[in-house]
């Protein structure tokens, strides 16, 4: 495969969207993430943000052999990550409205204990916010489309057709994506003093 105009276009688009090289490679097909990264560099868009500050004239001594053991220094300011922070502002108090809408109240088919929905009590508001945001950009996979590398967090009501799995890339061996891991594995707190 070669870098046709379209493919480069897709590459640029996805790269600027913040997609990872491997994802882009997967999307394009026929290339590895290395190829993507290599192309990205050749295109000069290694930095995903606007424009590269540039020109610190960094005279590179090209030593023929021998190992460069002196990292000269002067890195052009890296990574201002485009992190649109919806930032929850002055939100009053106590309710932690999980964007689950009317979902829960319906029957939850007690089929198999799928990933536990948090009872949304005292999960960190940040995590919740993150989750709701993530869900907007979720891949909305079906059950069969899940892999070991896709977030298996269920969203919506399984009893309706408005149900799907997050599907975003998991961070490691975890079943969920970063955001959902945050609410899935509650460190345990809050529930420890249940009176009985």
Q: To which residue do tokens 């929850």 refer?
A: 88
Taking the complex as a whole, the smallest distance from the CB of residue 29 to DNA amounts, in Å, to 11
Taking CB under 7 A as the rule, which mask of x and - marks residues 10-39 in contact with DNA? ---------xxxxx-------xxxxx-xxx
Taking the complex as a whole, the smallest distance from the CB of residue 46 to DNA amounts, in Å, to 4
Contacts with DNA by CB under 7 A: the residue count is 24
Tokens read off for 152: 């298996």
In sequence order, what are the beta bridge partners of 154? 165
Determine, following the binding rule CB under 7 A, whether residue 49 of this chain makes contact with DNA.
no
Q: Would you say 103 or 138 has its CB closer to DNA?
A: 138
Q: What is the dihedral of CA 164, 170, 174, 177, to 10 degrees?
A: -60
Distance separating the N- and C-terminal Cα atoms of the chain: 66
How far apart are alpha carbons 9 and 33 in whole angstroms? 16
Where does this chain bind DNA (CB under 7 A)?
Answer: 1-3, 19-23, 31-35, 37-42, 46, 149, 169, 172-173
């Amino acid at each position: 495969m070669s870098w046709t105009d379209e493919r480069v276009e897709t590459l640029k688009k996805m790269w600027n969207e913040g997609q990872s090289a491997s994802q882009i490679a997967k999307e394009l097909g026929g290339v590895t993430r290395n190829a993507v990264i290599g192309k990205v560099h050749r295109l000069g868009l290694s930095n995903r943000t606007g424009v590269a500050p540039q020109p610190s004239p960094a005279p590179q001594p090209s030593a023929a052999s021998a190992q460069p053991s002196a990292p000269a220094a002067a890195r052009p300011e890296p990574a201002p990550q485009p992190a649109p922070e919806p930032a929850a502002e002055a939100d009053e108090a106590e309710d932690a409205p999980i964007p689950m809408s009317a979902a829960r109240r319906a029957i939850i088919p007690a089929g198999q204990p799928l990933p536990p929905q948090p009872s949304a009590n005292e999960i960190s508001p940040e995590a919740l916010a993150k989750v709701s945001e993530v869900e907007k950009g979720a891949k909305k996979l079906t059950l069969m489309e899940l892999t070991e590398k896709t977030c298996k967090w269920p969203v919506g009501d399984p009893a309706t057709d408005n149900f799907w799995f997050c599907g975003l890339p998991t961070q490691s061996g975890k079943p969920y994506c970063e955001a959902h891991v945050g609410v899935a594995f509650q460190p345990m707190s809050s529930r420890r003093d249940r009176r009985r």
